[in-house]
Structure 1
Amino acid sequence: MHNQYIAGLLGVSVGQVNRVAGQCMRQSDQLTMDEGAPLSTKITGRIDGRPWCTMIDFEEVLDLSVHLMTAA
């Protein structure tokens, strides 16, 4: 589970998310989850006038930041 991502979206601490998640684990078999964790970041970069991607996933942030630091 992306506890840090969820905490950031909700504006709560990771500890709060962990506590609620722990309480809900018994019910987790009834939950369905999509893949990915899209950030609400506006895509401003363009290639040929079109956005370079539709969204940035939480799991991609570290790799993307390494690419940006390398390019700088």
Structure 2
Amino acid sequence: MNEDRISGNWKQFKGKVKEKWGKLTDDDLDVIEGKREQLAGRIQERYGYAKDQAEKEMKDWEDSNKYKW
């Protein structure tokens, strides 16, 4: 498995993503399909973040929830 895809079941995981980043649509989550880079890009787009800010927010969220990509 590609190391930048979320391990496990994306359908279960995407609910947690939507809890954190509620501006992401179901269509966004379908396009992301567990790909970390796609998630970062959509967070940037929806929230107007710079790449570094989106990456930091994702890293903090991963660390606090023990999610592994």
**Shorter-normalised TM range:** under 0.3
If each structure's helix is expressed as a fraction of its own residues, which one has the higher value?
2
RCO higher in structure (CA 8 A, sep ≥6): 2
> What TM-score do you get using the length of structure 1 for normalisation?
0.24
- Relative to total residues, which structure has the larger strand share, 1 or 2? 1
